[in-house]
Amino acid sequence: MLRQAWALRSAVLLGAALLSMAAGGGRALAGDDERIALEERIAELEALSLRAGDRKFTVHLYGQVNRALLFWDDGFGKGWRGIDNSTSSSRFGFVGQTLVSPGITTGFRIELESDPPLEEGAAGTPGGGMWRQTNVRQAYGYVESQTYGRLSLGHQSPATDDITLINLGSQMNDAAVHYNSDSAIPLAIGSGLVTDLLWGQIAHNVDSLRGSFVRYDTPMLAGFLLSAAWGENEVWDAAIRYRKELGPFDFAGGVGVMDDRVRRFRDIRGSASLMHNPTGLYASIAGGVRDDDVSVLSADSLAHFHYIQAGISQQWFSFGKTTLYADYGMYKNFNVGELLRVDPHTGSLVIWGTLADTEVTRWGIGIEQAIDSAGLLLYAQAHHYDVTIIGFPCDANPGQFANNCGGDPANLVELPTRPWQAFVMGARIKF
């Protein structure tokens, strides 16, 4: 037993070391299906049996390393850097469970995730920096009944997490904005005017963040999975997911709602994916609407987005499937009503005015190649983003207003911008 405990401790330390080294250097039903995929993965791993008193715990280890090269061009500068791919981040975790009585188990899950660096280059675009830290991605306990479902408590995904990312084709690209989400959008004035506005603030897929939640999931009911969660700071959400084979087709989809009273928004969002199994042709769509308490200055006040990806995923080679795809997305009026700050070549940001209309459009292409025997996925992607930013300048005497800006909402100005483009190639290996 001491040998087993030592093996578990060594595996945990090894996983942490793998994440540290990474720092130096198909979705189906996302969210809840991540749990299903995890359980399938666990079934392939060797179990370590540990005893705590009279209880026998089965502990399983899992993880992945995902590293890529990103080549970017924002119209003012260009460069490249190594990244830990947040589309499917490097991570290491272990889950444990024990049988309470026939049909009822209790257990836990702890998962660490590498935290990508905050890097800054030309015109505020990421270009080079130091690794920040390793995050706790999941840390919760649960009780599960085969008849009544699962109740979990701790740091975990809410019910709507990844509800917009359901995709039966690509494993490494979806409606979320990954590679430039932390990059500032420069204005096309002179050599580029730095702003505090990030791509991820206005190209938003209305996804949910992990946090402290009480969550309940039903058992699978005729292909349906229902989930609900309640979290700290008066956040609650609910979602329904569905997976079914329909003759030669495979379908997966989901829709969810969230109410966050602290951040003052209400969302409805979802996605669906359909694949024709004989040919491998597939299409995935996603969309969402956000009603918040600040986006009231736009003529089209509700922030919203839609995304579509189409492609083919076919096993042309014996060692694994090849996936080819193209995608398009539009993200409208996120962050409207917030202040925009710029740096007029002084080294410090000052308030320029208020955002009244924002729009990001994107398109891209990609290829993925799986090597099943090694748990390896190779991929390459090309991305192009265009942005429109409209706002109104601050009042001539901004200090008299509560937000230190004021201004006339009818005095709209479209700010000059340039597109952001990138090429990505990388590899993900699971263990």
Domain ranges for the chain: 2-430
Query: 290 near 259, Cβ under 8 Å?
Result: no
- The pLDDT assigned to 71 comes to 97
- The pLDDT assigned to 21 comes to 40
pLDDT in tens, 167-216: 999 999 999 988 998 889 999 988 888 999 999 999 887 788 889 999 99
**Identity of residue 234:** E
Q: Please report, for residues 145, 343, 427, the alpha-carbon distance to residue 287 in angstroms, rounded to integers and kept in the order given.
A: 33, 34, 28
Burial (CB < 10 A; 0-12, 13-18, 19+), residue 191, is: exposed
Query: 321 near 315, Cβ under 8 Å?
Result: yes
Length of the chain in terms of residues written: 431
Q: How far is CA 215 from the centre of its chain?
A: 19
- The pLDDT assigned to 300 comes to 57
Query: What number of CA atoms fall less than 13 Å from residue 21's CA on the CB side?
Result: 9
Task: Report the topology of domain 2-430.
Answer: Porin (2.40.160)
pLDDT in tens, 147-170: 999 999 999 999 999 999 999 999
CA-based angle 250:372:422, to the nearest 5?
80
Read off the tokens for 217.
């999931």
**Nearest 5°: phi and psi at 202?**
-115, -15
CA-based angle 378:381:387, to the nearest 5?
155
The partner residues of 188 in beta bridges, in order of sequence, read none
Query: 28 near 37, Cβ under 8 Å?
Result: yes
Q: pTM, whole model, 2 decimals?
A: 0.83
pLDDT along the chain (431 residues), means of 10: 43 43 46 54 47 69 94 92 88 92 93 65 40 79 95 96 95 91 89 90 84 96 95 92 95 95 88 97 96 62 92 96 98 92 88 94 97 96 96 93 91 95 96 90
Query: 242 near 218, Cβ under 8 Å?
Result: no
CB-based contacts of 271: which residues, under 8 Å, 6+ apart?
163, 164, 165, 166, 167, 175, 253, 254, 284, 285, 286, 287, 307
Helix (H, G, I), strand (E, B) or coil at 43: helix
Residues 271, 360: Cα–Cα separation, whole Å: 19
CA-based angle 365:367:371, to the nearest 5?
165
Burial (CB < 10 A; 0-12, 13-18, 19+), residue 308, is: middle
